[in-house]
């Protein structure tokens, strides 16, 4: 195989959830830059307007779909619609997610439920529905979104309910890798540390003590930029990773290998 | 993002097997490649590297010997002007029950597969720091995580390489030198030929691999290009398992 073709996604159809902003928008754009057609899911189709524009600017077909991934009926209908519109689904990137940085003793049950429903169930429903299509195609690549807090350097993250959903996603990823490995479907996850997105804007980036630790203790001395997730996700979604499945890939400037950073509210 | 045009790479243990596949892969992605090996240059090496179409040269040195490894990075820099990528791939295998294990073999394996990795990384990082950054990719193994059977020196060396990868990543991250490793699973090379040919062990191993097959040397090229290129600039200190899912089952 030609070396450029290893990472080339031309002719592939990629479904990205949480594509409206943040990491989802960066990844959806990156996939298009590497040649993929993109079905962008977010809570409303309108959320993904800029994403679709970026996909189109990269010369690829992009379509936006409104779907709450926590709702299995909505997932079923939307995935069926995407399969009808694009004819197939080769790549699934589950990025839709929410966080709630509240001390555990003060955490309202409804918030715990919603976190679990969006992050974990949302990933599960998407894998289930798209998995059926990939099994029928006898091939596909799934990249889920875990997080460094999902059991990698697990302590002191100040985000217990969220971290538990990301650990569940890591576990699901490994199980599905085994269940579907023989049928040509690879299932991996990325585990980012702290990236510059709106999700973190109001919580950790305004916490001076936390940011000081990031800058002093994190080996690379900086947080990540959304575009720095493109390389890892394109790699895992492409032929270049043909022998990789069940992997949880930290994209963390070295944090998992080295340093404990503690989060305390200020 | 995955291109290596203008980069200079050194691949130790690049004369055959996985090392040669990786050296050729780097060359196909545009890098100038310094290939190191212990024995004389082979016809297969010449053929594969020439076909890859980038400048390359062979640097013969036995890396188990400190005198021979001492100036290796400098030799490469003298020839190609810089060093951007170091792939520590040289390795050997020796099997013997631990109680009888030959101590000379122990020293040899630790010297070649652990101490040499450190020394070459040290040499390379000094050059990379001046250049403003670089990439070091160590070749680990499933023995970075598992104990294996009758291969105590190999396992100790590979666990050591995993630790070293993290230690060096930590120290050199701020210098923009990323240090990662690739841990190949079961790959079809000369080193694994005895297991591949074993009618009892081979099917047991294959059945445990979710992907349902052994790895081919080419399967390592994508992961290597990822870790050697700008695509992985925020990935550091990671041991990237390339095993068709072996470790998760
Ligand atoms: N930013 C980080 O530092 C970081 C670190 C580790 C993991 N992550 C994970 O990456 C993912 C994206 O994070 P981000 O920082 O880009 O967040 P973000 O809040 O900027 O973007 C998340 C997107 O998901 C969408 N979304 C939320 N709930 C949804 C639902 N129920 N159905 C469909 N879409 C929904 C939102 O509308 C939004 O567009 C999340 O899963 C997050 O947990 C982020």
ipTM here? 0.79
Residue B179 banded pLDDT, cuts 50, 70, 90: very high
Kindly list the catalytic residues of A.
162
> Looking at residue B82, which CATH number applies to its domain?
3.40.50.720
Per-residue pLDDT band at B141 (split at 50, 70, 90):
very high
User: What tokens does B8 get?
Assistant: 């200079």
B3 in any annotated domain: no
A137 falls within a domain: yes
Chain B CB within 8 Å of residue A6 CB: yes
Does B131 score more than 60 pLDDT?
A: yes
Find the closest chain A residue to B227 by CA distance: A232
Distance (angstroms) between ligand 1 centre and the Cα of A99 equals 8
Cβ contact A219–B174 (<8 Å): yes
| Chain B residue whose CA is closest to A249 | B240
Q: For residue A171, give how far its alpha carbon lies from the nearest alpha carbon of chain B (Å).
A: 9
- Centre of ligand 1 from the C-alpha of residue A103, in Å: 20
By Cβ distance, the residue of B2, B230, B235 closest to A251 is B235
Closest approach of A255 to chain B, Cα-based (Å):
8
Q: Is the pLDDT of residue A264 over 90?
A: no
Nearest atom in ligand 1 to the alpha carbon of residue A22 is: 16
- Greatest alpha-carbon span in chain A: 56
Greater confidence, A264 or B185? B185
- Name the residue with higher pLDDT: A220 or B12: B12
Q: How far apart are CA A120 and CA B156, in angstroms?
A: 38
pLDDT band with cut points at 50, 70 and 90 for residue B233: very high
Q: Is A70 in the pocket of ligand 1 (CB under 6 A)?
A: yes
CB contact B222 to A (< 8 Å): yes
Is the pLDDT at B45 greater than 80? The verdict is: yes
Number of Cβ within 10 Å of residue A44's Cβ equals 13
Q: Do B222 and A242 touch (CB under 8 A)?
A: yes
Rounded to an integer, the average pLDDT of A163-187 is 96
Q: Is A194 part of the contact surface with chain B (CB cutoff 8 Å)?
A: no
Q: Quick one: which of B40, B85, B78 has its CA closest to B58? A: B40
H helix intervals, chain A? 22-33, 49-57, 72-86, 109-115, 122-137, 160-180, 198-201, 208-217, 230-237, 255-258
B190-231, pLDDT tens digit by residue?
778 888 889 998 999 999 999 999 999 999 999 999 999 999
**What pTM was estimated for this model as a whole?**
0.88
**Residue numbers of the domain that contains A140:** 3-194+228-251
Confidence class for position A217, pLDDT limits 50, 70, 90: confident
Q: How far apart are CA B114 and CA B93, in angstroms?
A: 13
pLDDT confidence tier of residue A24, bands split at 50, 70 and 90: very high
Report whether A257 contacts B165 (CB < 8 A): yes
Token couple for A21: 């902003």
Between A and B, how many residue pairs show a Cβ–Cβ distance under 8 A?
A: 146
* pLDDT score of A260 more than 80: no
Asked if A221's CB is within 8 angstroms of B245's CB, the reply is no
Tokens at B75, concatenated: 């030799």
Indicate whether A17 belongs to any domain: yes
Predicted pLDDT of residue A156: 53
Output the CA A36–ligand 1 centroid distance in Å: 21
Q: Is the CB of A217 under 6 A from ligand 1?
A: no
Is residue A221, in this structure, part of any structural domain at all? Answer: no
Question: Looking at CA atoms only, how far is residue A100 from chain B in angstroms?
Answer: 25
Do residues A187 and A173 touch, judged by C-beta distance below 8 A?
Answer: yes
Residue B241 within any structural domain of the chain: yes
Ligand 1 close to Cβ of residue A252 (< 6 A):
no
The answer to whether A153 faces chain B, any CB pair under 8 Å, is no
In the reported structure, the alpha carbon of residue A19 is separated from the centroid of ligand 1 by a whole-number distance in angstroms of 8
Per-residue pLDDT at A157: 62
Residue A256 touches partner B, C-beta closer than 8 Å: yes
Atom number in ligand 1 closest to CA A24: 16
Q: Which CATH number characterizes residue A96's domain?
A: 3.40.50.720
Q: A250, B211: Cβ pair inside 8 Å?
A: no
Residue B2 maps to a domain: no
Q: Is A158 left (phi over 0), alpha (psi -120 to 50) or beta?
A: left
Q: What is the CA radius of gyration of chain A?
A: 18
pLDDT of residue A150: 82
Closest-lying ligand 1 atom to the alpha carbon of residue A199? 19
Give the mean pLDDT of chain A: 92
B160 CA distance to ligand 1 centroid (A)? Answer: 37
> Residue A213: its pLDDT value, please?
82
Q: Are B125 and B168 in contact (CB under 8 A)?
A: yes
The residue to which tokens 């959806």 are assigned: A28
Number of structural domains (chain A) is 1
Whether B1 and chain A come into contact, CB under 8 Å, resolves to: yes
In a domain, B86, yes or no: yes
Structural domain includes residue A209: no
Alpha carbons A101 and A116: distance in angstroms, whole number:
14
| Mean pLDDT, range B161-166, rounded to an integer | 97
- Domain holding B44, by residue range, is 8-248
The phi and psi torsions of B82 (rounded to 5 degrees) equal -165, 175
Predicted confidence at residue A259, as pLDDT, reads 62
Which phi and psi angles does A62 have, rounded to 5°?
-130, 140
| Partner-chain residue, chosen from A180, A220, A246, that has the shortest CB–CB distance to B247 | A246
């Amino acid at each position: 195989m030609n070396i450029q073709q290893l990472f080339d996604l031309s002719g592939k159809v990629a479904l990205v959830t949480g594509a409206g902003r943040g990491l989802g928008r960066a990844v959806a754009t990156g996939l298009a830059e590497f040649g993929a057609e993109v079905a962008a899911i977010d809570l409303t189709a309108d959320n993904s307007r800029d994403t679709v524009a970026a996909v189109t600017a990269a010369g690829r077909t992009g379509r936006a779909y409104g779907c709450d991934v926590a709702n299995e009926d909505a997932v079923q209908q939307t995935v069926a619609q995407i399969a009808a519109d694009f004819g197939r689904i080769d790549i699934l990137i589950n990025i839709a997610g929410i966080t709630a940085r509240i001390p555990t003793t003060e955490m309202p049950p409804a918030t715990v439920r919603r976190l679990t429903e969006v992050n974990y169930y949302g990933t599960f429903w998407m894998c289930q529905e798209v998995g059926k299509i990939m099994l029928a195609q006898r091939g596909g690549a799934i990249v889920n979104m875990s997080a460094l807090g999902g059991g990698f350097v697990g302590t002191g993250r100040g985000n217990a309910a969220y971290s538990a959903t990301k650990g569940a996603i890591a576990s699901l990823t490994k199980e599905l890798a085994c269940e579907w490995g023989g049928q040509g479907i690879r299932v991996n996850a990325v585990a980012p540390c702290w990236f510059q997105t709106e999700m973190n804007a109001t919580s950790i980036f305004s916490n001076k003590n936390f940011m000081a630790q990031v800058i002093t203790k994190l080996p690379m001395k900086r947080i990540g930029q959304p575009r720095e997730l493109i390389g890892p996700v394109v790699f895992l979604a492409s032929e270049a990773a043909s022998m990789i499945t069940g992997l949880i890939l930290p994209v963390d400037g070295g944090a998992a290998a080295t340093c404990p950073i503690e989060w305390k509210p200020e | 993002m995955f291109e290596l045009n203008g980069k200079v790479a050194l691949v130790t243990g690049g004369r055959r097997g996985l090392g040669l596949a990786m050296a050729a892969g780097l060359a196909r992605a545009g890098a100038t490649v310094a290939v190191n090996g212990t024995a004389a240059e082979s016809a297969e090496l010449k053929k594969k590297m020439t076909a890859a179409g980038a400048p390359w040269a062979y640097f013969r040195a036995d890396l188990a010997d400190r005198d021979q490894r001492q100036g290796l990075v400098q030799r490469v820099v003298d020839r190609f002007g810089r060093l951007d990528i170091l792939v520590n791939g040289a390795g050997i295998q020796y099997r013997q029950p631990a109680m009888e294990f030959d101590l000379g073999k122990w020293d040899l394996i630790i010297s070649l597969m652990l101490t040499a990795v450190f020394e070459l990384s040290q040499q390379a990082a000094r050059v990379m720091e001046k250049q403003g950054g670089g990439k070091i990719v160590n070749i680990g193994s499933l023995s970075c995580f598992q104990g294996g059977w009758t291969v105590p020196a190999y396992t100790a060396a590979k666990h050591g390489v995993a630790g070293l990868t993290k230690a060096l990543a930590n120290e050199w991250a701020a210098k923009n030198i990323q240090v990662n490793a690739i841990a190949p699973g079961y790959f079809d090379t000369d080193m694994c030929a005895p297991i591949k040919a074993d009618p009892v062990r081979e099917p047991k191993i294959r059945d445990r691999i979710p992907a349902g097959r052994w790895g081919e040397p080419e399967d390592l090229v994508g992961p290597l290009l990822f870790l050697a290129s700008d695509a992985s600039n925020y990935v550091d200190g990671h041991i990237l398992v390339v095993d068709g899912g072996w470790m998760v089952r």
